[in-house]
Chains A and B, each alone.
Chain A
Amino acid sequence: DVKVTQSSRYLVKRTGEKVFLECVQDMDHENMFWYRQDPGLGLRLIYFSYDVKMKEKGDIPEGYSVSREKKERFSLILESASTNQTSMYLCASSSVQGPQPQHFGDGTRLSIL
């Protein structure tokens, strides 16, 4: 069964901390995505990657960076966490034939105190 795995379901961090969210997919997909989901705002794209070491900004990249050193792993980094980054973070992947997110992880609910 295909799977996108996010390293943590729940995470609590403090303002100013550097936060790493990890995502691994086992489908050999080229494309990987990071979204955040907030009530009333839907899913908003933070960054996506269409190949190893390649990345492109989404709609709300400010305050975030990403790393894709291996095809199966896509990391989201909050450089200096702030309370307005409290949210549900969703990772997704897709094959090159379908650059829309096909498979999502179960999400990481991140709270910044």
Chain B
Amino acid sequence: TQLLEQSPQFLSIQEGENLTVYCNSSSVFSSLQWYRQEPGEGPVLLVTVVTGGEVKKLKRLTFQFGDARKDSSLHITAAQPGDTGLYLCAGKGGYAGKSTFGDGTTLTVKP
């Protein structure tokens, strides 16, 4: 089983601050996904990164896939209370249809 470690586990910041969360593994992934999950709802797919070194931007969110495709980061600029939620990363190995999820980072953005 390929393991994904997310850090930090919990993060509480004030509105307007910047933050970065990390997703690390010793395994190589063919692609990596980031999701956000709000209480009482299922995860929502934010982005998929495929190429080593790839950077994708989604408004104030910047996602980067490591050069070796073993790690990824999510950077949020000027966080807003609406960014509050559980952020999950999931890596897909070579086995079709199986993604391994990290434990998630719980982000709280205070107004």
Interface residues of A (CB under 8 A from B): 4, 31, 33, 35, 40-45, 48, 50, 56, 58-59, 90, 92, 98-107
**Cβ contact within 8 Å between A41 and B99:** no
Q: Of A44, A50, A56, A106, which one neighbours B42 at CB under 8 angstroms?
A: A106
Task: Give me the 6 closest cross-chain CB pairs, A-B, nearest first.
Answer: A104-B42, A43-B101, A99-B97, A42-B103, A42-B101, A100-B99
Q: How far is the CB of A11 from chain B (nearest CB, A)?
A: 15
Interface residues on B, range: 20 to 34
For chain B residues 45-99, which have a beta carbon within 8 Å of chain A? 45, 48, 88, 90, 92, 96-99
Task: Specify which chain A residues have a CB less than 8 angstroms from the CB of B1 in the assembled complex.
Answer: 59
Give B99's nearest chain A residue, CB to CB.
A100
Q: What separation, in Å, do the CA atoms of A102 and B47 have in the docked complex?
A: 10
Q: Of A50, A104, A105, A106, which one neighbours B97 at CB under 8 angstroms?
A: A50
Q: Residue B11 at the A interface, CB < 8 A?
A: no
**Cβ contact within 8 Å between B42 and A99:** no
Q: Of A33, A92, A106, which one neighbours B40 at CB under 8 angstroms?
A: A106
**Cβ contact within 8 Å between B97 and A42:** no
**Cβ contact within 8 Å between B41 and A107:** yes
* Given A100-B31, A104-B42, A106-B40, CB of A41 within 8 Å of CB of B103: yes
Task: Specify which chain A residues have a CB less than 8 angstroms from the CB of B40 in the assembled complex.
Answer: 106-107
Q: What separation, in Å, do the CA atoms of A33 and B99 have in the docked complex?
A: 10
* Given A59-B1, A90-B42, CB of A48 within 8 Å of CB of B103: no
**Cβ contact within 8 Å between A104 and B98:** no
Known: A43-B90, A104-B42, A107-B41. 10 other contacts (CB 8 A): A40-B103, A42-B101, A43-B101, A44-B101, A45-B98, A100-B31, A100-B48, A101-B90, A104-B35, A106-B42
**Cβ contact within 8 Å between B88 and A48:** no
Give A48's nearest chain B residue, CB to CB.
B97
Q: Name the residue in B48, B88, B92, B101 with the highest tally of chain A Cβ atoms < 10 Å from its Cβ.
A: B101
Q: What separation, in Å, do the CA atoms of A100 and B29 have in the docked complex?
A: 12
Task: Specify which chain A residues have a CB less than 8 angstroms from the CB of B35 in the assembled complex.
Answer: 104
